[in-house]
Copies of this chain bind each other. A is one copy, B any other.
Amino acid sequence: VGEQRVEQSTIAVIDFNEDVFTERLIENDEECRKFIGTDTVSWVNFTGLHDVARLQRLGDLFQIHPLVLEDILNTGQRPRFEEVDDRLFIVVRMLYRRAAGHEIVSEQVSFLVGCGYVLTFQEDEGDVFDMIRERLRHARGRVRSMGPDYLAYALIDAIVDNYFVILDDIGMAIEDLQDAIFEKPDHSALRRLHDLRSDMIFIRKALWPMREAVSAMEKTDNVLIARATRPYLRDVYEHTVQVIDSIETMRDMLTAAMEIHMSSTSNRMNQVMQVLTVIATIFIPLTFIVGVYGMNFEFMPELKWRYGYAAIWGVMIAVAGVMLAFFRRRRWL
């Protein structure tokens, strides 16, 4: 079971068809019963998975298989699609930011699509479904006139669409980082690179199985999925594949960034070494020469010469010149 994130579990029901629309919070769990077997579509959204007792009651009401309940509770599931007892069980991973600039929240959302209802389960209150709620309230788009399969599609589509938002952010961050690395490949760039990489590993792990899940959902011949909904599922599938393509591309970009970091660091060290080498190798022999004439031997004829000092300057300038020419020839300058 994931950590508790909300204080109170809630059950929010939206019940609708083309003409009718009801939205309410359920206090007494037994109330849910009256949404079963009607000819309206009911969306029952359960928030707060830590409230296991209440979840269990809901499970009893809707006769959910204990293994399914367990998977709903264990929020580290891989995204997947299953047909259990004539119902569709879908696990997906929702990624969103609570607000721009905030860190990415990852949350498991489980769907149970039955005849006339969609149950959704999430730990946290925040989600990416507000636009769907608005569309339901104001009867915009097709969603009010179609069945629970279309509602499930719309919700999953909202989740997948939000991946694009997240990935665009990350893509821009990667490009910024690549420029920064070219400029100055330092420790903080490495840290950011690593953080982005961890994010990608994490997102990748969440989204790869999505592809399979959505594909299985599209391909099932379960009667719960109407013929008219299939093109929409196909569309979600295409989007998922597109998301995965982007992730792989970003992985390549991050790998490239890592290699550039390594190369840039090497390049910089190379430059540093060259400067050190040039300065050191020019002055080390000169310092030796001046050391020679700093010796205190009594018999050093050069010291007595009239132009000894001038001559030694000449020698030193010549040595430095030869050195510089050597470096120039080796293209180190």
Where the two chains meet, the residues of A that have a C-beta atom closer than 8 Å to any C-beta of B are: 65, 67, 70-71, 76-78, 80, 82, 84, 178, 182, 184-187, 190-191, 194, 197-198, 201-202, 205, 209, 231-232, 234-235, 238, 241-242, 245, 248-249, 252-253, 256, 258-277, 279-281, 283-288, 290-300, 302-309, 312, 330-332
Contact = CB atoms under 8 A, between A and B. Distances in A.
A261 B202 CA distance: 21
B299 A296 contact: no
26 contacts: A67-B232, A70-B235, A76-B242, A182-B190, A187-B267, A190-B264, A197-B256, A201-B253, A201-B256, A202-B249, A209-B245, A271-B330, A275-B281, A279-B284, A279-B285, A280-B280, A283-B285, A284-B287, A291-B291, A294-B295, A294-B296, A295-B312, A297-B302, A297-B303, A297-B309, A297-B312
Contacts of A197: 256
Given A284-B287, A287-B287, 19 more contacts: A67-B232, A82-B234, A205-B245, A205-B248, A262-B263, A265-B266, A265-B267, A271-B330, A276-B277, A276-B281, A279-B285, A280-B280, A284-B284, A287-B288, A290-B292, A294-B295, A297-B312, A299-B307, A299-B308
A78 B258 contact: no
B78 A238 contact: yes
Nearest to A178: B194
A266 B267 contact: no
A242 B260 CA distance: 30
Ordered nearest first, which 4 A-B pairs have the shortest CB separation? A290-B291, A293-B295, A294-B294, A276-B277
Contact of A266 (B262, B271, B281): B262
A245 to B, nearest CB: 6
Contacts of A249: 201-202, 205
Contacts of A71: 235, 238
A297 to B, nearest CB: 4
